[in-house]
Amino acid sequence: MQTVNIGFIGLGTVGCGAIALLRQNRELIERRAGCRLAVRKIAVRHPDKPRPIAVDPALLTSDVREVLEDPHVHIVVEVMGGIDPARQFVMEAIQRGKSVVTCNKELMAKHGSEILDLAKAKGVDVNFEGSVGGGIPIIQPLKQQLVGNRIRRITGIVNGTTNYILTKMTRERRELADVLREAQALGYAEADPTADVDGYDAMYKLCILAAIAFGSRVRVEDVYREGIGGVHARDIEYAQELGYTIKLLAIAQEDDDRLIELRVHPALLPNAHPLAAVSDVFNAIVVEGDGVGRVMFYGRGAGASPTGSAVVGDIVEIARNLCYNAT
Amino acid sequence: MQTVNIGFIGLGTVGCGAIALLRQNRELIERRAGCRLAVRKIAVRHPDKPRPIAVDPALLTSDVREVLEDPHVHIVVEVMGGIDPARQFVMEAIQRGKSVVTCNKELMAKHGSEILDLAKAKGVDVNFEGSVGGGIPIIQPLKQQLVGNRIRRITGIVNGTTNYILTKMTRERRELADVLREAQALGYAEADPTADVDGYDAMYKLCILAAIAFGSRVRVEDVYREGIGGVHARDIEYAQELGYTIKLLAIAQEDDDRLIELRVHPALLPNAHPLAAVSDVFNAIVVEGDGVGRVMFYGRGAGASPTGSAVVGDIVEIARNLCYNAT
């Protein structure tokens, strides 16, 4: 069996989740992939930092060049997050002929077309399944199995933190600030909750989905964005009396004139709508295509292990291509 | 742009759905695929039979050899159904180096491993996304995005006809025979409803999913199968009083000793279970993996246009491989 070598940049929650899953199911994954998968190097800021998984110290380096410049690394997994320097690292990896796996939603939303154009020119793959919906298969199904459809609309609950907060507010009739403090204590919300509460995270994810569905005409600046900051317990109560649930929705739709509308905002959903029942940290995305009708994808939208599952799926897909084309 | 030539065997509901979608979205699909897709020949039993779509008579032939022996046909789409002679045609197409797209669940359930082994030996693709869940992406996501997971259990509502019947029985408190007659009149059930009502259709689909999840140790004979014939209006009523819904479930699970259990039978689902809300002709499949947790895929499990969407997705995936490897 051939060996495909993987270099990680970053080893936070998702990186640890992916490596743990690769270890736990190594035999199964390699049999399915048809090749060996070897983690060759992991670039981290602080090699000595304690982590949830044990990692051979020889794999760790604080010098990202050891990943980017290693000619034996076939796939670079970027799980450091943020734009700078993640963007430069991803571009350099591609430039050097390496394929890339990333879950970096902000990066793909803002610079996806530049990254994918370079990847195309260099003949390498860039997979980013984990950037939307955690472990839920949505990006590749949209690109592949639903490729025959003109997509009319995508409607998603794509931010687990705000969905958890709204669910708690609904069930326990509490106010946002109160639930948010609890979510922060439980680790479901960041110390700085802006990205989630104000809808930035959902906006990035929406841009990624819309770019696939509608082509590269999608820009972050074109999204109408409103977070859940203005939702009060009494709004939820009134909505419930009328048979509605309040959810933070990310919506992308194309009208008959091919105009694209992109928006993230709290919305009233009739209780019978399939998305109304999506609670807690779960995510779900409804895709409406002219062939398939309505399909929905549902699951855990975040977390080490679900997002790790997406990263491993992306790695294996690239590894299969590499091995197939090498034979 | 290169051209990929497609030959159809059969032109029933699904074949017409696929060709209609290919036509309707031709420009979009070819741009996404990166190649031209040309339907070169369609083998049918009765070329003169009236069909829901207009087809150039020059494309139609009653001689299947014109599809199988045409060296210019790259992909054979088998949408005739049944085992004989579909199996021979599929095997011959592969033998001749052609890739195959099929929605034939009985064929893939009973002879899938033989077909896939030959395809592997000949270096061609066999895609069968439409064989389970109509247009819902489930087979490729299970193979690809979820590849890193040990699958614990798959639970599906995979037969639209029985789900429609059970939904009607529940909502209108009617008996099966009564609802079945109506479903037949509406075209939702076959004149001979055995395949659906007795659970054969669900059994085939379960075998296909289980073979992907658990490897090729899955045989149709090993499935416990019980249809909905024994479900009465009063069973549903009692279940409802206790907070349960009756659904025909297809379940595949692997225990800690790697023993696989396969069963199709009516089951009581708590109303809060995500599958309990799956009504009418809709299908949904819940996959539980050790990394991803629970993910659910939901949509229309049958019909010309949804299943046509799956066939087009399969065609494009193969076409991309063919063009990529030819450059």
Write the pLDDT tens digit of every residue in B300-322.
Answer: 998 999 999 999 999 999 999 99
Mean pLDDT over residues B75-104, rounded?
A: 98
Return d(Cα A87, Cα B221) in angstroms, integer.
Answer: 53
Write the pLDDT tens digit of every residue in A293-313.
Answer: 999 999 999 899 999 999 999
Contact A226, A251 (CB under 8 A): no
DSSP labels, B162-182: HHHHHHHHHHH---HHHHHHH
Per-residue pLDDT of chain A in tens (327 residues, 90 and over written 9):
899 999 999 999 999 999 999 999 999 999 999 999 999 999 999 999 999 999 999 999 999 999 999 999 999 999 999 999 999 999 999 999 999 999 999 999 999 999 999 999 999 999 999 999 999 999 999 999 999 999 999 999 999 999 999 999 999 999 999 999 999 998 888 899 999 999 999 999 999 999 999 986 799 999 999 999 999 999 999 999 999 999 999 999 998 888 999 999 999 999 988 899 999 999 999 999 999 999 999 999 989 999 999 999 999 999 999 987 765
Q: How is residue A265 written in tokens?
A: 């905002």
- Per-residue confidence band for B327, with pLDDT thresholds at 50, 70 and 90: low
**The pLDDT of residue B59:** 97
Candidates A147, A294, A311; nearest CB to B32: A147
Residue whose structure tokens are 């035999």: A27
Contacts of B22 (CB under 8 A, 6+ apart): A148, B29, B37, B39, B312, B315
Q: Which helix (H) or strand (E) holds B267?
A: strand B260-270
Return d(Cα A4, Cα B248) in angstroms, integer.
Answer: 43
**The pLDDT of residue A326:** 67
A8–chain B nearest CA distance, Å:
17
Return d(Cα A203, Cα A197) in angstroms, integer.
Answer: 11
B264 has a pLDDT exceeding 60: yes
**The pLDDT of residue B326:** 67
Return d(Cα B17, Cα B314) in angstroms, integer.
Answer: 14
B305–chain A nearest CA distance, Å:
5
Mean pLDDT over residues B218-237, rounded?
A: 96
**Any bridge partners for residue B198, and if so which?**
none
Whether A135 sits inside 8 A of B309 (CB atoms) is no
**The pLDDT of residue B14:** 95
Contacts of A14 (CB under 8 A, 6+ apart): A79, A103, A130, A304, A307, A308, A311
Write the pLDDT tens digit of every residue in B165-205.
Answer: 999 999 999 999 999 999 999 888 889 999 999 999 999 99
Return d(Cα A37, Cα A129) in angstroms, integer.
Answer: 19
**The pLDDT of residue A233:** 96
Chain A residue whose CA is closest to B275:
A274
Q: How is residue A298 written in tokens?
A: 């549902």
**The pLDDT of residue B215:** 87
**The pLDDT of residue A129:** 98
Residue whose structure tokens are 């708590």: B270
Q: How many CA atoms lie within 13 A of B138 on its CB side?
A: 37
Whether B149 sits inside 8 A of A309 (CB atoms) is yes
B324 has a pLDDT exceeding 80: no
Chain B positions touching A297 (Cβ under 8 A) are: 295-298
B48 has a pLDDT exceeding 70: yes
A255–chain B nearest CA distance, Å:
16
Return d(Cα A140, Cα A146) in angstroms, integer.
Answer: 9
**How far is the CA of A292 from the CAs of A144, B18, B305, in angstroms?**
13, 11, 6
Give the mean pLDDT of chain A: 96
Chain B residue whose CA is closest to A26:
B148
The question of whether B205 is a catalytic residue gets the answer: yes
The two beta strands, B36-43 and B3-9, are parallel
